Amino acid sequence: MNSSAFAKPIVYALYLNAAILLAILLTLLGHGRPAVETAAAQAMADQPPIAGGNGIFVMPCQLHPEVWGCYLLDTQRQTLAVYEYRAGQQALVLSAARDFRFDLDLKNYNSFPAWYDIQKAVEEAAKDKQTNESQLPSLAPPPARDSNP
């Protein structure tokens, strides 16, 4: 068999493949990305408004079903404050303030499951690639503690 006769169908197949890829590229570029833009706009609409700058941020919050207020976060001083708006008094009242600098050093304070249980479950899942999160052993939360000492 002649090598030029064999090469001719391959050349046609390569040209056909290039034409199909070009058509796919033009289709993708022509449509834009409305699905991605819509998803990004939806994600931004779901987020509560945050205002701030220079390390201080204010975010509105609902403290109770009929009580509104705001969080004030100072990232430079590492302080969080909560203000409650009292409509009857037309006043913004400081409800709580906390320096969280040392809170961030805690590894496992009042949380469930413990970080080391999560680490162990992840390591076990890594050993068996077939295991997914739904197949990991469930951990029962600890019983509620009495808030009175």
Query: Do 100 and 132 sit in the same domain of this protein?
Result: no
Query: Do 60 and 97 sit in the same domain of this protein?
Result: yes
The answer as to whether 100 is a domain residue is: yes
Mean pLDDT in residue range 142-148: 62
Query: Do 66 and 98 sit in the same domain of this protein?
Result: yes
- Of 73, 125, 130, nearest to 98 (Cα)? 73
The answer as to whether 41 is a domain residue is: no
The answer as to whether 149 is a domain residue is: no
The model's pLDDT over 32-67, given as tens digits with 9 standing for 90+, comes to: 655 556 666 666 666 666 677 788 999 999 999 999
The answer as to whether 42 is a domain residue is: no
In the structure, what pLDDT confidence band is assigned to residue 79 with cuts at 50, 70 and 90?
Answer: very high
The answer as to whether 146 is a domain residue is: no
Query: Which residues span the domain enclosing 118?
Result: 108-141
The answer as to whether 148 is a domain residue is: no
Query: In sequence order, which residues have a C-beta less than 8 Å from that of residue 132 and are 6 or more positions away?
Result: 125
Query: Do 97 and 112 sit in the same domain of this protein?
Result: no
Mean pLDDT in residue range 130-138: 59
Cα R_g (the chain), whole angstroms: 29
Query: Do 17 and 62 sit in the same domain of this protein?
Result: no
Total domains present in the chain: 3
**Has this prediction a pTM greater than 0.75?**
no
CB-side neighbour CA atoms (13 Å) of 51: 4
Dist CA 80 CA 57 (whole Å): 10
Q: What is the pLDDT of residue 93?
A: 94
**Res 149 pLDDT > 60:** no
Summary mean pLDDT of the chain: 78
The answer as to whether 147 is a domain residue is: no
Query: Do 100 and 58 sit in the same domain of this protein?
Result: yes
- Amino acid in position 2: N
